[in-house]
Chains A and B, each alone.
Chain A
Amino acid sequence: MSHHKLEVKDLHYAYPDGHQAVSGISFLIRHGESVGIIGANGAGKSTLLMLIMGVLFPDRGEVCVGDIPVTKKTLPMIRQRLGMVFQDPDDQLFMTTVYDDVAFGPRNYKLDEKEVEKRALHALDLVGITDLKDRAPFKLSGGEKRAAAIATVLSMQPDVLVLDEPTAALDPRSRRRVMGLLQGFEHTKIVTSHDLDMILEICRRTIVLKNGEVTADGPTREILLNPELMESCGLELPLALQNCPVCGTGK
């Protein structure tokens, strides 16, 4: 399914103040893959996501979704196929009800109101918050907001889900719930996070960024189990793989 692949070719981007955030990143993500993108703060994760989504445009190199390069002209089509969930759900939820927020995307693509309703209710059902559809987003709990934010993207039926820190600031149960949701999706997934345990569970493949470059790209277990690599990139082994704090033995 070549039309579902996502290819990043030799991407370079510097912010207007001269800070080189991304320099020479390349990778290919195939249909159905779930890929974690990890790295210390300032490694270029968020900038990379913005470049993939076409919020920023690279100084050099290109991003291709299927065989279509991300350019200003192709943005409407690209954004229908890539759905991004922001780190802060409050940025994503701005309508007066959860339903209107979930319906916002499909309505923008001028779908028939019946189809909009079908998609919105299906997306709400997928994340299990159908009962919250008439609530005001600002009155939801952190976990519910995150689920609603994911639903706003699912209603657009994207091929690729891009998630920026999906488990940040969630309590353990909400975190587990969001992880369960993500594991249930068959979409191609790109997840950036500092929650390495979550990456270990959800992503088969991991890309490690350091100073705007790809330091490692391979199976998650190999990468996250490599203490030297993790250390050199300002990261640590996932907590699940660290020594037991009580008996001092490794798992």
Chain B
Amino acid sequence: MPNIMDSLYNMRLLDDLARKETFIHNIHPLAKLLTTVVYLAVVVSFGRYEIVSLLPFIFYSVVLFALGDLPVAPILKRVLLAGPFIIGIGILNPCFDRQVMEVGGIAVSRGWATFFSLLLKCVLTVTAALILIATTGVDKLAGALRMLKVPRLFVLQFLLTYRYISVLTEEVARMWRAYSLRAPAQRGIHRSVWGSFAGQLVLRTFERAQHVYQAMCLRGFAGEYHTGGCGGLKAGDLVYLAGWVLFFALARVYNIPMLIGLMVTGVGR
């Protein structure tokens, strides 16, 4: 908690990354959004014992990290945030599913296989979502959602939630600073003030949010969040989308690691 201001700065990292000017950043937001949606659908569609067939999908993240000039460590750190949820969901699988299966000649419990498959899917999907935001930006993403005719209200909800997270965090940071300066020997916030701290936080956040909303209304905001036109899809954007969809389809139909293995070892001959 002491480095909450650092967290605030870190939270905006994705916004900063989205302002870069690389090949990936210049691709139309709609093409990137659709590619990511297809990617997520394909990754999730694999069976619960599949691990090896999922491996080619790491290629997508690696290519985007490289071409989008994205820093690997800060993004993977954010992926880890989803870790506890997935571990919570999957950790009991090894206890319940004790049957043995063979992976590459090694006997493994089916429970562990489902657990690792779940973990891998989680890492792949969360990474893809973060890459999408880091190469597109939330505002442009909202523009793409509107192009897909997603109802205005949902898009607005999405954008304002994203905006207000920082308002909430800033208020927590201010209150925390004021509290800790007058309670130097304490670790954390004493439970006797939890109630008033939370109550104050809600009231102050409401007030800040109201000011932000008023400032928006005074500049003509009437329910539609205009983020500037994204323009139309160009041929290059369609090629990007089609290329990846083709790759995902191939990786879904064929077990690429197995094929490579057979080619290298020559067992198939």
Contact A97 B220 (CB under 8 A): no
A residues 68-120 near B (Cβ < 8 Å) are 76, 79-80, 83-84, 86, 88, 90-92, 94-97, 100, 103-105, 107-110, 113, 116
Segment among B31-39, B92-100, B147-155, B224-232 that sits at the interface with chain A: B224-232
Contact with A along B206-235 (1 / 0, CB 8 A): 001001101111111110101111000000
Contact B12 A79 (CB under 8 A): no
Interface residues on B, range: 20 to 34
Contact with A along B3-25 (1 / 0, CB 8 A): 00000000010011011000000
* A91-B211, A96-B18, A113-B229 known; A76+B222 contact, CB < 8 A: yes
Contact B218 A53 (CB under 8 A): yes
Interface centre among B16, B138, B166, B217, by most chain A C-beta atoms within 10 angstroms, is B217
Complex: A192 Cα to B221 Cα, angstroms: 24
A57 to chain B, nearest CB (A): 13
B206 to chain A, nearest CB (A): 13
By beta carbon, the residue of chain B nearest A113 is B229
Complex: A131 Cα to B224 Cα, angstroms: 29
* A96-B18, A113-B228 known; A136+B215 contact, CB < 8 A: no
Contact B219 A100 (CB under 8 A): no
Contact A103 B19 (CB under 8 A): no
Interface size on A, residues (CB 8 A): 32
* A88-B211, A100-B139 known; A79+B219 contact, CB < 8 A: yes
Complex: A109 Cα to B220 Cα, angstroms: 7
Q: Indicate if B137 sits at the interface (CB-CB under 8 A).
A: yes
| Residues in B whose Cβ lies below 8 Å from that of A103 | 228
Kindly identify which residue among A79, A96, A97, A100 contacts B218, using a CB–CB cutoff of 8 Å: A79
Q: Indicate if A125 sits at the interface (CB-CB under 8 A).
A: no
Q: Indicate if B177 sits at the interface (CB-CB under 8 A).
A: no
Complex: A26 Cα to B6 Cα, angstroms: 49
| Residues in B whose Cβ lies below 8 Å from that of A134 | 19
| Residues in A whose Cβ lies below 8 Å from that of B219 | 79, 83, 104-105, 108, 152-153, 156
Contact B220 A105 (CB under 8 A): yes
Task: Give the dominant DSSP class at A's interface.
Answer: helix
Complex: A153 Cα to B219 Cα, angstroms: 7
Contact B222 A86 (CB under 8 A): no
Q: Indicate if A140 sits at the interface (CB-CB under 8 A).
A: no
B228 to chain A, nearest CB (A): 6
Kindly identify which residue among B137, B215, B229 contacts A96, using a CB–CB cutoff of 8 Å: B137
By beta carbon, the residue of chain B nearest A93 is B215
Q: Indicate if B163 sits at the interface (CB-CB under 8 A).
A: yes
Q: Indicate if A240 sits at the interface (CB-CB under 8 A).
A: no
Contact B139 A91 (CB under 8 A): no
Interface centre among B208, B216, B218, B229, by most chain A C-beta atoms within 10 angstroms, is B218
By beta carbon, the residue of chain A nearest B207 is A91
Contact A107 B139 (CB under 8 A): no
| Residues in B whose Cβ lies below 8 Å from that of A156 | 219-220
B residues 164-187 near A (Cβ < 8 Å) are 166, 170
Complex: A116 Cα to B139 Cα, angstroms: 17
Instruction: Give me the interface of A with B, judged by CB distance under 8 Å.
Output: 53, 55, 76, 79-80, 83-84, 86, 88, 90-92, 94-97, 100, 103-105, 107-110, 113, 116, 134, 136, 138, 152-153, 156
* Beyond A79-B217, A100-B227, A108-B219, 15 additional pairs, beta carbon < 8 A: A55-B214, A79-B218, A83-B219, A86-B215, A91-B211, A95-B139, A96-B137, A96-B139, A97-B19, A104-B221, A105-B220, A107-B228, A108-B222, A116-B228, A136-B16
A-B contact pairs, 28 of them (CB 8 A): A53-B218, A79-B218, A79-B219, A79-B220, A80-B220, A83-B218, A83-B219, A90-B170, A91-B208, A91-B212, A91-B214, A94-B215, A95-B139, A96-B15, A96-B19, A97-B19, A100-B228, A104-B216, A104-B219, A105-B219, A107-B226, A108-B219, A108-B221, A108-B224, A110-B226, A136-B12, A152-B219, A156-B219
